[in-house]
Amino acid sequence: MRSGLRTLAARAARGLRRLCARPASGAPAARAGSGATVFALSSGQGRCGVAVIRTSGPASGAALRSLTAPRALPPARRASLRLLSDPRSGEPLDRALVLWFPGPQSFTGEDCAEFHVHGGTAVVSGVLEALGRVPGLRPAEAGEFTRQAFAHGKLSLTEVEGLADLIHAETEAQRRQALRQLDGELGHLCHGWAETLTQALAHVEAYIDFGEDDNLEEGVLERADSQVQRLQAALSAHLQDARRGQRLRSGAHVVVAGPPNAGKSSLVNLLSRKPVSIVSPEPGTTRDVLETPVDLGGFPALLSDTAGLREGVGPVEQEGVRRARDRLEQADLLLAVLDASDLASPSSRDFLDTVVAPLGARDPREGGQRLLLVLNKRDLLAPGTPPAALPAALPAPLLLSCLTGQGLDTLLAALRTELAALCGDPGAGPPLLTRARHRHHLQACLDALRRARGSSDLALAAEALRAARAHLGHLAGGGGPEELLDVIFRDFCIGK
Ligand SMILES: Nc1nc2c(ncn2[C@@H]2O[C@H](COP(=O)(O)OP(=O)(O)OP(=O)(O)O)[C@@H](O)[C@H]2O)c(=O)[nH]1
């Protein structure tokens, strides 16, 4: 009977391999398997020292031979110096390093060639035009090289997403998270979960096929149930990540708010190191919400400057105040800025009472927004004089002078701590979910596991387990609709 169980386990494992294969069923084989050979400039646009032009597809070898002299292919994966010439006119184009990557041992899995040419505009356009004249070659679409790699099983979908994120990473923390995903950590985690599920499913199917009396191992169903229970706990824990991975990918919302003239715009300009907002001694200068992306200690943030909060103003400023309040609601982190020398003014008191005090009383671990209280213009206080005492219930304030920069290092360290809590440490712990797509499949998998455990009908339970496993397969391997893949590959530029 054990052999029966083994057979079932093997059958289930084959199913799992199919689901998590790269690509999963439904992947975009059509485009990549079309036999086209594509080419593009893969390094950045504009004049540069060296530009890299790539081709991928069956005519890559012919393209390399047509442009190089002598017309033999260079040794595989070794850089060789060649004179590149126009295949039609024989006109020399450049002296370049060329590389030949015969498939399947290439990035895309197809035959690939690389031309490392001098990065002048005329050289690059000359080589691109010459490649366009080689029969069977056409310019690549955005992300087409990566799409070929996916279709040939070189990258899973989560790895493709990691690669897209790596290309777009603007901060150190984003780069670390993207690299982990590109290295397949999220995919491996899903694979481990799917294996557990496969074993549980094999036990349930064995029970269905052979029944209790058929000399089946003792406690098969109980074992399956405890496996599924452990998996449920693991998935729930993973979903309770406060969306840190997604926030790290897109940037935390940091809103600078406070009474008029406190120095909010000065702080936004200081943190972003550019003149985003107009600074003036006239209260009520900022009317609308102004956003700018910033790198704060390696973490990405979307910094918003807002209108000074006060009552009894004209309709335009009133609208600005309304927008500021709206933006406050959406903040992951509020930077509450006040003038240290003006804490007794009605607008300062009102801001402290109505915005800072209620927020400071809420625990960020229970969904409350994070808050840093900044007392600016410390240079206006007489040396050695502390600012007016604040109510004890408020968070300890940070003293700053945007004018002299005094206190900026302390503020930056505090910001880094807050953002690390919001975005997580991308180098530690299990890999985080970085997209809504991941969360959707994991949640659907968890729901299916709940259905399986709640079902009194074993056949229905097995079906729910299969559905749960399919969601894990979709998360790691793809297999979603073609439009979804289009969205993912659209994140790439031409040449990648
Ligand atoms: N002495 C001193 N002046 C500052 C400091 N920071 C800003 N200021 C000045 O305070 C005035 C107001 O600064 P802003 O940055 O425009 O203030 P704001 O809070 O954005 O003002 P609103 O647009 O009215 O909401 C300007 O004259 C700044 O130069 C500081 O640290 N010390």
Q: What are phi and psi of 145, to 5 degrees?
A: -65, -45
| Distance between CA atoms of residues 150 and 152, nearest Å | 5
User: What would the two tokens of residue 175 be?
Assistant: 């780069």
| Distance between CA atoms of residues 488 and 496, nearest Å | 13
Q: What is the CATH number of the domain that holds 169?
A: 1.20.120.430
Which residue has the least CA distance to atom 21 on ligand 1? 261
What spacing in Å lies between the alpha carbon of 331 and ligand 1's midpoint? Answer: 22
Same-domain check for residues 47 and 101: yes
404 or 87: which leads in pLDDT? 404
Nearest to 18 by CA among 402, 321, 472: 472
Q: Which of 117, 137, 155 is the last residue before a domain boundary?
A: 155
Residue 82, domain extent: 31-155
Same-domain check for residues 261 and 383: yes
Peptide bond into 74 cis (omega under 30): no
Flag whether 227 is in a domain.
Answer: yes
Q: What are phi and psi of 293, to 5 degrees?
A: -80, 140
Q: Name beta bridge partners: 257.
A: 336
Q: What is the CATH number of the domain that holds 255?
A: 3.40.50.300
pLDDT band at 141 (very low <50, low <70, confident <90, very high): confident
450 or 19: which leads in pLDDT? 450
| Distance between CA atoms of residues 342 and 349, nearest Å | 9
Same-domain check for residues 2 and 35: no
Residue 211: per-residue pLDDT: 65
18 or 70: which leads in pLDDT? 70
Percent of the chain predicted with pLDDT > 70: 85
Check: CB of residue 476 under 8 Å from CB of residue 431.
no
401 or 169: which leads in pLDDT? 401
403 lines ligand 1 (CB under 6 A): yes
Tens digit of each residue's pLDDT (9 = 90 or more) over 181-202: 888 888 888 889 988 998 888 8
pLDDT band at 16 (very low <50, low <70, confident <90, very high): very low
Tens digit of each residue's pLDDT (9 = 90 or more) over 106-123: 999 999 999 999 988 899
Flag whether 284 is in a domain.
Answer: yes
What spacing in Å lies between the alpha carbon of 280 and ligand 1's midpoint? Answer: 6
**What residue type is 305 in one-letter code?**
D
To test the pocket of ligand 1, the residue of 279, 378, 400 to mutate (highest count of ligand atoms within 8 Å of its CB) is 279
Its pTM stands at 0.74
In Å, the largest CA–CA distance within the chain is 89
426 lines ligand 1 (CB under 6 A): no
Flag whether 136 is in a domain.
Answer: yes
What spacing in Å lies between the alpha carbon of 339 and ligand 1's midpoint? Answer: 8
Q: Are strands 333-339 and 299-305 parallel, antiparallel or unpaired?
A: unpaired
277 has a pLDDT exceeding 70:
yes
**What residue type is 324 in one-letter code?**
A
To test the pocket of ligand 1, the residue of 256, 266, 374 to mutate (highest count of ligand atoms within 8 Å of its CB) is 266
Q: Which of 155, 186, 201 is the last residue before a domain boundary?
A: 155
User: What would the two tokens of residue 168 be?
Assistant: 């777009």
Check: CB of residue 181 under 8 Å from CB of residue 165.
yes
Give the angle subtended at the CA of 378 by the CAs of 374 and 383, to the nearest 5°: 145
Same-domain check for residues 323 and 355: yes
Give the angle subtended at the CA of 159 by the CAs of 153 and 162, to the nearest 5°: 155
Tens digit of each residue's pLDDT (9 = 90 or more) over 329-359: 889 999 999 999 999 999 999 999 999 988 8
Give how far the C-alpha of residue 120 lies from the chain's centroid of Cα atoms, to the nearest Å: 33
Q: What is the CATH number of the domain that holds 109?
A: 3.30.1360.120
Flag whether 350 is in a domain.
Answer: yes
Report the nearest atom of ligand 1 relative to the CA of 282: 24
Which residue has the least CA distance to atom 1 on ligand 1? 377
Residues 6+ apart with CB under 8 A from 467: 444, 448, 451
43 has a pLDDT exceeding 70:
yes
Which residue has the least CA distance to atom 27 on ligand 1? 281
Same-domain check for residues 493 and 450: yes
284 lines ligand 1 (CB under 6 A): yes
Give the angle subtended at the CA of 264 by the CAs of 259 and 268, to the nearest 5°: 160
Flag whether 447 is in a domain.
Answer: yes
User: What would the two tokens of residue 53 be?
Assistant: 């032009």
pLDDT band at 21 (very low <50, low <70, confident <90, very high): very low
pLDDT band at 23 (very low <50, low <70, confident <90, very high): very low
Check: CB of residue 49 under 8 Å from CB of residue 67.
no
Same-domain check for residues 297 and 232: no
403 has a pLDDT exceeding 60:
yes
Give the angle subtended at the CA of 163 by the CAs of 250 and 81, to the nearest 5°: 140
Same-domain check for residues 203 and 295: no
Tens digit of each residue's pLDDT (9 = 90 or more) over 200-213: 888 888 777 776 55
286 lines ligand 1 (CB under 6 A): yes
Q: Which of 155, 181, 199 is the last residue before a domain boundary?
A: 155
341 lines ligand 1 (CB under 6 A): no
To test the pocket of ligand 1, the residue of 345, 402, 408 to mutate (highest count of ligand atoms within 8 Å of its CB) is 402
Same-domain check for residues 270 and 391: yes
Flag whether 428 is in a domain.
Answer: no
1 has a pLDDT exceeding 60:
no
413 or 475: which leads in pLDDT? 413
Same-domain check for residues 412 and 267: yes
394 or 271: which leads in pLDDT? 271
Same-domain check for residues 228 and 324: no
380 lines ligand 1 (CB under 6 A): yes
Q: What are phi and psi of 191, to 5 degrees?
A: -60, -40
Flag whether 4 is in a domain.
Answer: yes
Same-domain check for residues 113 and 40: yes
Q: What are phi and psi of 247, to 5 degrees?
A: -65, -40
What spacing in Å lies between the alpha carbon of 352 and ligand 1's midpoint? Answer: 18
75 has a pLDDT exceeding 90:
yes
Residue 13: per-residue pLDDT: 43
5 or 61: which leads in pLDDT? 61
**What residue type is 217 in one-letter code?**
E
User: What would the two tokens of residue 380 be?
Assistant: 């206006």
**What residue type is 196 in one-letter code?**
T
Residues 6+ apart with CB under 8 A from 271: 294, 296, 303, 415
Mean pLDDT, rounded, of the chain: 85
Q: Which of 4-18, 145-159, 386-400, 461-475 has the lowest mean pLDDT?
A: 4-18
Strands (E) across 16-63 are located at: 37-41, 50-56
Same-domain check for residues 460 and 445: yes
Residue 96: per-residue pLDDT: 94
What spacing in Å lies between the alpha carbon of 293 and ligand 1's midpoint? Answer: 21
225 has a pLDDT exceeding 50:
yes
What spacing in Å lies between the alpha carbon of 376 and ligand 1's midpoint? Answer: 9
Number of domains, the chain: 3
Which residue has the least CA distance to atom 32 on ligand 1? 377
Residues 6+ apart with CB under 8 A from 215: 1
Mean pLDDT of 116-139: 92
19 or 314: which leads in pLDDT? 314
Percent of the chain predicted with pLDDT > 90: 50
**What's the count of helices (H) and strands (E) in the chain, helices before strands?**
18, 13
Mean pLDDT of 302-323: 90
Nearest to 94 by CA among 76, 70, 68, 113: 68
Residue 137: per-residue pLDDT: 94
